Amino acid sequence: MRNILAIGRREVLSFFVSPVAYFVITGFLLLAGYFFFNYLLVFNVYVARFQGMPYPGGQPTPNLNQFVAEAFYQTLLIVLVFLIPLLTMRVIAEEKRRGTFELLVTSPISVLEIVLGKFLGLAFVIITMVVLAACFPLMLAIYGDPEVLPLFSGLLGVTLCALGFASIGMAVSAFTENQIVAGISSMVVLLLLYVIQSPAEAMGNTVGAAILNYLSPVAQVRDMLRGVISISSLVYFGSMIALGLFLSTRALEAYRWR
Amino acid sequence: MIEVSGLSKHYGDYIAVHSASFSAAKGEIVGFLGPNGAGKTTTMRMLSTYLPPSAGSARIAGFDVVTQSDQVRRNIGYLPENPPLYGEMRVDEYLYFVGRIKGLPESQLASRVAEVIERCFLADARKKLCQHLSRGYRQRVGLAQAIIHNPAVIILDEPTSGLDPRQIIDIRKLIGSLAQEHTVLLSTHILPEVQTICSKVVIINRGRTVLESSLADLIQNRSLEQAFLECVSSDEAVTASF
């Protein structure tokens, strides 16, 4: 445990001494803020139109949760697809390139401890990022009258999804020495995962379609955005994180035995 | 302290190290010589548990590098050819970090860091970022990192390469001072260096150990240069004669 903490601490330090974490967090908040602004504006127009209708029957009543919070959280997922690889691309690839991997591996700590420590460092940066972005739903809660529970469960969904993405990104980084290769490959993998359920509709009512739907992080987060935290989604994100950690460990062990 | 027998490393058809054998006793400083590409770095990487050997065995402080690699890693300090520094860390932060992952208890950490900083002449650089250090300082931080947990065996891969004469003298003094408590294996291709600090010489050529001898015996009736050239130019003949 002490080794994991030592690695994690060093990782966080290196994120915040270099400009990487600041740029990624700032970029994330900037994009999040812009989307939030946009959804609020659209919501305003919709409310005005709704009130102008003499008989609004059949039209959904505008509500903040569905029109702003849900749309906002869903957009954050696609932003994460592009920003998480920028955080993860260096974590392991850079250690290999500058030779510090040799130091870690010849120290009395296990590869699993190295991987867990690095993930802990990433998780710290990601949670910081999501907590800062929570200022937007907080504004809704202060100035509007949304249901509060879905705001929290949605935030949890976004965090779990980000951690899952980070774990996959780290695994990709463990397979290469080149940061750019790691960054691009993780972006491709995550984008593919993001759109994985698109052919499901055309496949109709088949097992394949069900699998693709289950594999989609967007579909998994959707319930959470509506305030439902299901075991199935928790298992899904838990497995995604575990898979990334497992692949990272394997890649690093194989790196020495090639 | 170091016992190597029949140690080999093959990459497909390419043989990097073939059946290397030598040993080093406690308190010895062993000069590990050989031309470029002879297999020095590969051998040291196997001893440090970084690379698994293809065949043969090596024991460090009585522990096998493959089956007891965890104990081996507790008992070695290793300085690779390029010091493994994190550019964005300050020298003292870095040494604290290394101390932790080498398993030093929290209570000894501060005193050990202070000790290696003094021993490696790093006092004026302790708050500098590693990426701003000159080559000489990087090498000294690398050395500090290798000795911080007081390992029984210290493996140094070309510790003086790229240093100016003044720095070379400092580093040599430092390595010399390690001999009492540690066994040191250092690779180099600077022969006078071996003459000044080593007590034993191992020469490796094209992946094979071609000579293992105490320095005194080796230079009894010839210079170290002559001995080295004889070994590397006709290693087949030399191997036969041993």
Tell me if B28 sits within 8 A of B179, measured CB to CB.
yes
How far is Cα A51 from Cα A53, in angstroms, rounded to an integer? 5
Return the DSSP state at B97.
H
State the pLDDT at residue B85.
95
Residue A28 has pLDDT above 90, yes or no: yes
The DSSP element (H or E) to which B7 belongs, if any, is strand B2-11
Tell me if B121 sits within 8 A of B140, measured CB to CB.
yes
State the pLDDT at residue B238.
45
Instruction: Tell me the mean pLDDT in the region B201-223.
Output: 83
pLDDT band of residue B105 (cuts 50, 70, 90) is very high
Which chain A residues touch B76 with a CB distance below 8 Å?
106
Residue B46 has pLDDT above 90, yes or no: yes
Q: How high does pLDDT run on average in chain A? A: 91
List the single residue in A with minimal CA-CA distance to B81: A99
Query: What secondary structure does DSSP assign to B169-234, as a single string?
Result: HHHHHHHHHHTTT-EEEEEES-HHHHHHH-SEEEEEETTEEEEEEEHHHHTSSS-HHHHHHHHHHS
State the pLDDT at residue A67.
84
Distance from CA of A115 to the nearest CA of B (A): 14
Q: Do the chains contact at A106 and B89, CB–CB below 8 Å? A: no
Residue B74 has pLDDT above 60, yes or no: yes
Residue B106 has pLDDT above 80, yes or no: yes
Instruction: Tell me the mean pLDDT in the region B62-87.
Output: 92
% of residues, chain B, pLDDT over 70: 96
Most A CBs within 10 Å, among B101, B127, B141, B150, to test the A interface? B101
pLDDT band of residue B107 (cuts 50, 70, 90) is very high
Furthest-apart CA pair in chain A: how many Å?
75
Residue A117 has pLDDT above 70, yes or no: yes
Residue A39 has pLDDT above 90, yes or no: yes
Q: What is the ipTM of this complex?
A: 0.87
Return the DSSP state at B159.
T
Which chain B residues touch A105 with a CB distance below 8 Å?
49-50
Residue B117 has pLDDT above 60, yes or no: yes
How far is Cα A82 from Cα B168, in angstroms, rounded to an integer? 48
State the pLDDT at residue A58.
67
State the pLDDT at residue A18.
86
pLDDT band of residue B95 (cuts 50, 70, 90) is very high
Which chain A residues touch B48 with a CB distance below 8 Å?
102, 106
State the pLDDT at residue B218.
78
How many CB contacts within 8 angstroms connect chain A with chain B? 69
Residue B174 has pLDDT above 90, yes or no: no
% of residues, chain A, pLDDT over 70: 98
pLDDT band of residue B216 (cuts 50, 70, 90) is confident
Instruction: Tell me the mean pLDDT in the region A81-91.
Output: 93
Q: Helices in chain B by DSSP H: which ranges?
A: 40-47, 69-75, 91-101, 106-119, 135-147, 165-178, 191-197, 215-218, 224-233, 235-241
pTM metric for this prediction: 0.89
Distance from CA of A238 to the nearest CA of B (A): 28
Instruction: Tell me the mean pLDDT in the region B96-111.
Output: 94
Residue A20 exposure: Cα atoms within 13 Å on the Cβ side? 21
State the pLDDT at residue B162.
74
Q: Do the chains contact at A106 and B85, CB–CB below 8 Å? A: no
Which chain B residues touch A257 with a CB distance below 8 Å?
52
Residue B210 has pLDDT above 80, yes or no: yes
Residue B185 has pLDDT above 70, yes or no: yes
Of A145, A135, A131, nearest to A33 by C-alpha is A135
pLDDT band of residue A204 (cuts 50, 70, 90) is confident
State the pLDDT at residue B242.
46
If contacts are CB pairs under 8 Å, which of residues 93-122 in chain B contact chain A? 93, 97-98, 100-103
Per-residue tokens: A120: 């802990």
List the single residue in B with minimal CA-CA distance to A98: B84
Q: Give yes or no for B76 touching A (CB within 8 A).
A: yes
Q: Do the chains contact at A105 and B84, CB–CB below 8 Å? A: no
Q: Give yes or no for B145 touching A (CB within 8 A).
A: yes
Task: Out of B52, B73, B85, name the one closest to residue A108 (CB).
Answer: B73
Distance from CA of B81 to the nearest CA of A (A): 9
How far is Cα B111 from Cα B123, in angstroms, rounded to an integer? 14
Instruction: Tell me the mean pLDDT in the region B178-205.
Output: 87
Q: Do the chains contact at B78 and A14, CB–CB below 8 Å? A: no
